[in-house]
Structure 1
Amino acid sequence: MRHLRILWLGAAVMLTACQRPGDAPAGPQQASLLPPDQASAHVIAAAPPAAHTAASVAGSLPAPLAPIRAVGTDEAIKPFDFAGTSGGIGPAVCRFDGLQLPPGTKVYAAGGYGGAAQAFQIDQSGHQATRMDVAVNQPSAPVVLMLGSYEPTVWNVGWSPGTRILAVLVSGYHRQVINGLPSGVPRIVSTRDNHGACPSFSLSGDRLDSLNSAARLVFGRNVDMVFPARSGKVLVSESGAEAGRWVTDRAAQAAESFRLADAPLAGEAGLEEAVRKGYLREATPADVRDWQMAAAAARGPGDVPPVYGGTKPRPIGMYHAYVVLKPFTLPAGLYGAHSATFFVPKGLPRPKGTLGHSTLYDFNTLSCAGVACWH
């Protein structure tokens, strides 16, 4: 069989060499170039166009394809948002092209876990947005900033007259937005959600060991000073002095202008809105008793010995407790003190969205989901 394959390959080469460029095949060719033991596959192979064959023989390549053009005028096209609402695609390479730091430039890092909580979302992370106000007062030397936040954050940047901000590098987990800087100030926003090329760094608590390595990579030197944010505000000033007045870019927008369209309000504001719109009502002690009785009946006595004086059902907190009245989506940010309790009556679907630190009691399945459930 091996000798037959060698003979077959030689014959195929000779047939190809003997074919003249101008010869056009009579039609689709049967898979006659297959080895004899595979000829039963009957694969149909269409011959290339005669013009391409001639060009190949002449030693030239076919003409390249024309670039894709929009049909009609510019009004027929619009931006293609490949990254959705995650805040765009991060940089493929972590560098500021052409940026040269003058002697004496200060590298300042500022931020924290998150800023002041806002009652809206700027991405689809399930976390409500935060706002961080950054005021820079350093007129004696140029400044580059390294800003970092875990939570989705709108960074409002202002500065004192005479302060020169040369560039801004932003790190985070969720979406980060720079607001207030002139368009001519270069910036890199590299987050976990946009898969940016820059190394991540943190300014939360004592987790500062990633700052210098990131600064050396991007700016060629260590961080001069770290300024922790408090209550959504951070003053970047080695002297600690505030300016007599602050300025920002004329095109700066209100933080809420970055709100994700069609997303419900976050946290407690979202719960209050759901009550106003009839998606929820506040739960009563009667709703809690109904759940406890239904759950006990579903469990049955089980293989449990009797307890003197009887047993009491596990208490259910009434803080932020609601009954679902119709299908809806849970607001983002239901964590910690903003968590809630939901009762889903029989016949209604569970709400969509992320429970966070909340608890849900479903009368349809008599099951519990969330942090307050027994597992």
Structure 2
Amino acid sequence: MAAILFLFSSTSLAQDLKKVDFEAPAADACAFENLTLPKDLRVYAAGAYSGRRLGYALDESGHEATRFDITVNSPSQSVALLLGAYEPSVWNISWSKGTRIVAVMISGYHHQAVVGLEESVPVLKSSYDNPGPCGYFYVSGAQSGSVNPIARKLFQQPVNQIFPGYSDGTILVGDSLSIDSELLTSPWSGQAAIDSAVAKGLLRPATPADTEAWALLTTARSRPGLDKAYVVLAPFTYPSGLSGADPATFFILRNVPRPSGNPGQSAVYDFNSLTCSGPRCVR
């Protein structure tokens, strides 16, 4: 009964700490594999101690996650980015039409994650808490001096310009933008889109209490697994990319509308109808 009360308590749900884990793989060497550097390359560094606070955790540090919204405007020259913050942060990237981002490194003291880039853009991650071969840096006061040695390793040149951020997390990198500038970003799909929905409070990671509640209400012989399992808290659209090796598990709370879109091969446990749909359902 306690599990059921937990599941349907909006107060408990609102107080849940939302944990996001976007992964950019750590490299074996401080280098971008098979990257050909363009002759017109500009190396820009951006960041701050922290960005806009998000109210959920990104890692096990116990620090609240922050977010940076990076807009890159350099239509006349190719750009490489060095992005760094002390606090665990999500870097959301957009760029102006004609801008070409050739590579991105994210770094900091705590865990860092990047979203919005095209899949073809290589990303390196190397931080103090998630050590990689490049060491770590963050763009804040005296710490900014550590970006040049890394820039020389990765791009054979120093940083051309540093763009510091502020508490709202918004940073324009490159040239100034006109009001009618067209900005581009890659749509999030699969796990990145799910993580974004967690950050917005539309989903939360499922817990053993959720699977226990399902078992009690349905007399199911087995409990659903918790790997990539999420509770739907508000109107939500299933993202693309939930088929093949990347399906998820969704629990739809009572009085929450069924999500729109295609869940792919995901399992959908609906507390409104006490039914499950999808090939991964546990009976």
Under a length normalisation based on structure 2, what TM-score does the superposition of the two structures give?
0.58
Decide which of 170, 182, 195 is 1:245's aligned counterpart: 182
Matched, 1:94 2:43: no
Q: Secondary structure at the match of 2:70?
A: strand
Decide which of 63, 67, 71 is 1:131's aligned counterpart: 67
Superposed, 1:169-318 pairs within 5 Å as 169-230=105-166, 231-237=168-174, 239-242=175-178, 244-251=181-188, 253=193, 255-257=196-198, 261=205
Query: What residue number does 1:42 align with?
Result: none
% same residue? 40
Query: What residue number does 1:146 align with?
Result: 82
Instruction: Give distance in 1, aligned partners of 2:151 and 2:86.
Output: 18
Unpaired segments of 5 or more residues in structure 2?
Answer: 1-19, 208-283
Query: What residue number does 1:17 align with?
Result: none
Alpha-carbon shift at residue 251 of structure 1 (Å): 2.1
- Whether the aligned pair in 1 keeps the contact of 2:52 and 2:68 (CA below 8 Å) is yes
Superposed, 1:318-357 pairs within 5 Å as none
Instruction: Give distance in 2, aligned partners of 1:145 and 1:164.
Output: 11
Q: Deviations over 1:208-262 (max 9, x none)?
A: 211111100111110000001122110002x333461211002264745369836
Instruction: Give distance in 1, aligned partners of 2:85 and 2:64.
Output: 13
By percentage of residues, which structure has more strand?
2
Query: What residue number does 1:165 align with?
Result: 101
**Number of positions where the alignment pairs a residue of Structure 1 with one of Structure 2:** 179
Letter in 2 for 1:100: T
Q: Secondary structure at the match of 2:47?
A: strand
Instruction: Give distance in 2, aligned partners of 1:87 and 1:175.
Output: 10
Structure 1 runs, 4 residues or longer, greater than 4 Å off: 84-89
Letter in 2 for 1:257: V
Q: Secondary structure at the match of 1:120?
A: strand
- Whether the aligned pair in 1 keeps the contact of 2:88 and 2:112 (CA below 8 Å) is yes
Q: Secondary structure at the match of 2:145?
A: coil
- Whether the aligned pair in 1 keeps the contact of 2:107 and 2:126 (CA below 8 Å) is yes
Alpha-carbon shift at residue 200 of structure 1 (Å): 1.4
C-alpha root-mean-square deviation of aligned residues, in Å?
2.4
Query: What residue number does 2:53 align with?
Result: 117
Instruction: Give distance in 2, aligned partners of 1:201 and 1:85.
Output: 20
- Whether the aligned pair in 2 keeps the contact of 1:111 and 1:227 (CA below 8 Å) is yes
Under a length normalisation based on structure 1, what TM-score does the superposition of the two structures give?
0.44
Alpha-carbon shift at residue 112 of structure 1 (Å): 0.7
Q: Secondary structure at the match of 2:55?
A: coil
Structure with more relative contact order (C-alpha pairs < 8 Å, separation 6 or more): 2
